[in-house]
Amino acid sequence: MIYLGTSGFKYEEWKGVFYPPNLSEKEWLPFYARHFNGLEINSTYYRLMHPATFYHMARKVPEGFCFTVKAYRTITHEIGQQSEGDLKAFLESIRPLQEAGKLGCLVAQFPNSFRHSPQSLTYLADLRQHCGHLPLAVEFRHKGWAAPETFGFLRERDLGFVCVDEPRFSSLMPPVAVVTSDLAYLRFHGRNYQMWWKSGEEKLRYDYLYSEEELREWLPKIEALRAQSQRMFIFMNNHFGGKAVTNAFMLAGMLEGRLGEAAPPAPSNAPAQAALPMDPAR
């Protein structure tokens, strides 16, 4: 089973690009769920949310829809500074998704500064233990993690590996396709080289529109990932200006032709692919 969608869905600039201009914000998620079968929730990285939020989100999507949830920032980016209760509060908040059978997995995305070391491996092992039996996938940003020892470590602890497409800087994770648990996970961040490291313009980091050729590079890898896993999650994080939606529809069409996966229907109000401006970084 392949779950395909975007990283986040509440973007004001998607009005008129994906969401009908007059559609109320409370109807955005049901509208989204009519076109995609998966959603990566990113807002959980910025704040701990009340369980009621996820209870209502679960009720707004149909059976068969699946959420993945990004870990709270203190768990991945402020190690050693977090409150002892942060992880417990985070896990408690998402319980309604689990009870509704709509939680795909948790995603722990670590920064480039999180390097391969004995201390880091111990932290990952402890995180796996504290999360219990909940499916957990790990995203690394530093290339030092792209090694057989890492993949063996993850397999031993039933930790998923998050494959990424991002700018090919020498320090970043290369586009490897590896499965280390029963799930496969792939995130498309875009390839905006000019804005990736620019301080104060972090949101523009994801201002990038993939071409068909660039997406096709991943088709053989997606086929291999799918063959080695029970479930696969693919999310477009190039959300700026609605580009994630455009690329998600593009990739869905490609997968339908290659793998027989059903492509989600494009909303009638969505612009043609060529209508979105191409990123000057290409």
Report the b/e string of 38-71 with b at 16+ CB within 10 A: bbbbbebbeeebeeebbeebbeebeeebbbbbbb
Give which of 242, 187, 231, 236 is closest to 28, Cα–Cα: 242
Is the pLDDT at 274 greater than 50? The verdict is: no
Give which of 4, 2, 1, 3 is closest to 247, Cα–Cα: 4
CA distances from 74 to 45, 84, 128, 137, 160 (A): 8, 10, 16, 17, 20
Q: pLDDT tens-digit profile of 182-200?
A: 999 999 999 998 888 776 6
Average pLDDT over residues 14-41: 96
Predicted local distance difference test score (pLDDT) of residue 18:
96
- Answer whether 0.85 is exceeded by the pTM: yes
Q: Which two tokens stand for residue 195?
A: 């804005």
Domain containing residue 133: 2-275
Q: Give Cβ neighbours of residue 174 (< 8 Å, ≥ 6 apart).
A: 143, 146, 168
Distance CA 34, CA 169 (A): 37
Average pLDDT over residues 217-221: 96
Predicted local distance difference test score (pLDDT) of residue 253:
94
Q: Give Cβ neighbours of residue 24 (< 8 Å, ≥ 6 apart).
A: none
Q: Which tops the pLDDT comparison, 101 or 279?
A: 101
Does residue 146 sit within a domain?
A: yes
Average pLDDT over residues 128-157: 96
Q: Would you tell me how many other CB atoms lie within 10 Å of the CB of residue 88?
A: 11
Q: Which tops the pLDDT comparison, 257 or 110?
A: 110
Q: Which tops the pLDDT comparison, 18 or 274?
A: 18
Q: Which tops the pLDDT comparison, 249 or 80?
A: 249
Is the pLDDT at 58 greater than 60? The verdict is: yes
Q: What is the DSSP letter of 230?
A: S
Predicted local distance difference test score (pLDDT) of residue 269:
58
Average pLDDT, the chain: 90
Average pLDDT over residues 19-44: 96
Does residue 239 sit within a domain?
A: yes
Average pLDDT over residues 15-22: 95
CA-atom Rg of the chain in angstroms: 18
Torsion of CA 207, 215, 169, 171, to 10 degrees: 110
Does residue 251 sit within a domain?
A: yes
Q: Kindly state the percentage of the chain with pLDDT values over 90.
A: 81
Does residue 176 sit within a domain?
A: yes
Is the pLDDT at 270 greater than 70? The verdict is: no
Predicted local distance difference test score (pLDDT) of residue 205:
83
Does residue 8 sit within a domain?
A: yes
Does residue 281 sit within a domain?
A: no
User: For residue 119, what is the domain's CATH number?
Assistant: 3.20.20.410
Predicted local distance difference test score (pLDDT) of residue 279:
31
Q: Which DSSP helix (H) or strand (E) runs through 160? A: strand 160-165
Q: Which two tokens stand for residue 274?
A: 């060529």
Does residue 280 sit within a domain?
A: no
Predicted local distance difference test score (pLDDT) of residue 260:
67
Residue indicated by tokens 């479930």: 231
Average pLDDT over residues 136-164: 97
Does residue 282 sit within a domain?
A: no
The partner residues of 164 in beta bridges, in order of sequence, read 187
According to DSSP, the β-strands at 183-188 and 231-236 are parallel
Domain count, the chain: 1
Q: Find out whether 276 and 13 touch, Cβ atoms under 8 Å.
A: no
User: Measured between alpha carbons, how far apart are the two ends of the chain, in Å?
Assistant: 32
Distance CA 37, CA 40 (A): 11
Distance CA 282, CA 269 (A): 27
The partner residues of 70 in beta bridges, in order of sequence, read 107
